[in-house]
Amino acid sequence: MQKNILAVDDQPIFLQSLKNHLEYAGFLLDTLTDPTQVESTIATQNFDCVLLDVDMPQIDGISLLRTLIEKYPLIPFIMISGKSSIEQAIKCIKLGAYDFIEKPPDPDRLVITIKHAIERHFLTQERLGLLENLKAQNNIIYRSEAMQALMNRIESVASTEATVLISGEHGTGKQLVAQAIYTHSNRVSAPFVQVNCAAIPSTLLESTLFGHVKGAFTGAVQDSTGKFRDADGGTLFLDEIGCLDYESQSKLLVAIQEGDISPVGSSETFMVDVRIIAATNQSLQGLIKAGKFREDLYYRLNVVPVRTPPLRDRKEDIIPLAKFFLTDFATKHSRLVPELTPAALNVLMQYDWPGNVRELQNMMQRVIIFLSEHQISPEDLLIAFDEEQRTNIPVNKDTSLEKAVNSFEKEYIEHALIVNQYKIIATAKMLNIDRTGLYRKMKKYGIEVPEMSTV
């Protein structure tokens, strides 16, 4: 299928020349000399790539690029200029342009650039299609056997009415698991109500769960149904259940056992039909031994135990998750989806992720925000890591993220040198850095080159 290209330039002669070259190469080309018509044209037609002149009398091409990328982040834009400067090129690339080409463009190079831009566009669209499929599965992205076992357990328990207790470290996706159980249950058409027990003061917890009547306490200016009645017929997800005080635990136990609740300040009882899913990052058995959690409530909740594995125990999922988050955040922030270099992939795989999936998610968002290139290097990961985590969180007991970055960067440079037979220019080109930068890194890591070749 022929690809549709839009070229915008105030010079008709240049556009005609462009049309001859590109149509000969097999493209369909629409042209505009009036840049004020670009937005309406793109809005009504499908273009695989847009060529945009930087220097136009009616509208500044760079300002127009900024507007178009905000509205159409998935379309690749190639900037063309007869008065180009390094500053202009850098500005356009940072805004999200795919490439910057000087006039008059070399026809062969232009065709290759357009093909590469369209290929990137296609891959981005393909990834977004994959994202939609993944999102339909509650954002639970995995390749590992550990997560496959978890998904099998979710599938088994979802269609039952059994109470479920989800345990796992912070950031392992306990809420997503609860939502997956709900989504695949017979109660999916009824409400899913979530309560974060750690975020509610103990004085308000009973009212939050069971409701209250007007005047029951200071500030109760109107009746409240409470979360149990809000979830009637559906699922009530009690997150951080270990944070409930002992008195609230007793009232929760009665509600689960009897199937009815009484609002604060009322003698009236209401029958409720809810399925309970609870989650905790604490050891409830440890809290029981410490006298801080009721053993009978624990057994009521722990009918079907489900454990979410930490990210360090499912390393196969790190790269798919990282790519998912990069694509998701790039789309949200109207950026191109960057690629992870092999060295960066190594760093991600070697790090222990004490904050689990949430930590990885936060890092990928910071990468998208701060990244100025189309590829993610180990240094980009280090910059994206917050200072406190970078210095205080250990990896493999005594390896910080910075040390992991340095270790794999050194290994990657050594590998590149060997591949290029220790030729500095070829190695620097492969690593996409200049010779000075390569020499600096070699000095930093104590990498020596045999005397046989240094160019």
Q: Is residue 55 one of the residues assigned to a domain?
A: yes
- What single DSSP character describes residue 25? T
* Selection from 254, 288, 248, 285 nearest residue 272 by Cα: 254
Domain boundary among the residues 309, 335, 365 is at 309
Q: How far is CA 101 from the centre of its chain?
A: 32
One domain for residues 178 and 106: no
Domain of residue 273: give its range: 145-309
Q: How far is 93 from 335, CA to CA, in rounded Å?
A: 11
In the DSSP assignment, the letter for residue 310 is P
* 248 lies in the same domain as 276: yes
Structural domain count of the chain: 3
245 with 318, same domain?
Answer: no
Q: Supply the pLDDT for residue 142.
A: 83
Smallest Cα–Cα separation from 199: which of 236, 167, 244?
244
Same domain for 300 and 348, yes or no, is: no
Kindly write down the DSSP assignment for every residue of 121-166, as one continuous string.
HHHHHHHHHHHHHHHTTTT----SHHHHHHHHHHHHHHTS---EEE
Q: With respect to residue 39, please indicate whether it lies within any of the assigned structural domains.
A: yes
d(CA 81, CA 14): 12
Q: Which two tokens stand for residue 24?
A: 């000969």
User: Residue 433: which CATH number?
Assistant: 1.10.8.60
Residue 451: inside a domain: no
Q: Give the strand pairing for 235-239 and 275-280.
A: parallel
Residue-level pLDDT at 451: 59
Q: Which residues pair with 340 in a beta bridge?
A: 376
How many CB atoms neighbour CB 385 within 10 A? Answer: 22
Q: Is the residue at 453 inside a domain?
A: no
Looking up residue 79, the CATH number of its domain turns out to be 3.40.50.2300
pTM metric for this prediction: 0.59
Is 54 contained in some domain?
Answer: yes
Q: Using one digit for the tens of pLDDT, what is the confidence trace for 107-140?
A: 888 898 898 888 776 665 555 554 444 444 556 8
Residue 452 lies in a domain: no
Q: For residue 2, what are the contacts with CB-CB under 8 A and spacing of at least 6?
A: 26, 27, 28
Both 157 and 290 in a single domain? yes
Q: Clarify whether residues 232 and 342 are in a common domain.
A: no
Give dist(CA 321, CA 142) in Å, integer: 8
Which CATH number does the domain housing residue 177 bear?
3.40.50.300
Within a domain: residue 450?
A: no
Q: Can you give the pLDDT at residue 405?
A: 63
Do 369 and 221 share a structural domain?
no
Residue 52 CA to residue 15 CA, distance in Å, equals: 11
Task: Find the distance separating the first CA and the last CA of the chain, reported in whole Å.
Answer: 45
Which residues, other chains included, contact 254 with Cβ-Cβ below 8 Å and sequence gap of 6+? Answer: none
Same domain, residue pair 184 and 275: yes
- Distance separating alpha carbons of residues 362 and 386, to the nearest angstrom: 10
Using the 3D structure, point to which of 309, 340, 366 is the last residue of a domain: 309
Final residue belonging to a domain, choices 309, 327, 362: 309
Q: What is the pLDDT of residues 40-79, one digit of tens each?
A: 888 778 888 999 988 888 788 888 898 888 778 778 899 9
318 and 214 share a domain?
A: no
Q: Are 171 and 74 found together in one domain?
A: no
Q: Is residue 140 part of a domain?
A: no
- Indicate if 69 and 47 belong to the same structural domain: yes
What gap in Å lies between CA 411 and CA 79, rounded to an integer? 37
| Nearest-10 crossing angle of helices 174-183, 145-158 | 40
Q: State which H helix or E strand residue 83 sits in.
A: none
Q: How far apart are CA 279 and CA 169, in angstroms?
A: 10
Give, for all 455 residues of the chain, the pLDDT tens digit.
Answer: 678 899 999 888 888 888 888 988 888 999 999 888 888 888 778 888 999 988 888 788 888 898 888 778 778 899 988 776 777 788 888 888 888 888 888 888 889 889 888 877 666 555 555 444 444 455 688 888 899 899 999 999 999 999 999 999 999 999 999 999 999 999 999 999 999 999 888 888 888 999 888 877 877 778 888 999 999 999 999 999 999 999 889 989 999 999 888 888 888 889 999 999 999 999 999 999 999 999 999 999 999 999 999 999 999 899 989 999 999 898 888 888 898 887 788 888 888 899 999 999 999 999 998 887 788 988 888 777 665 555 433 344 444 555 656 766 777 787 778 777 778 888 887 777 778 888 888 888 888 876 544 44
Q: Are residues 75 and 180 in the same domain?
A: no
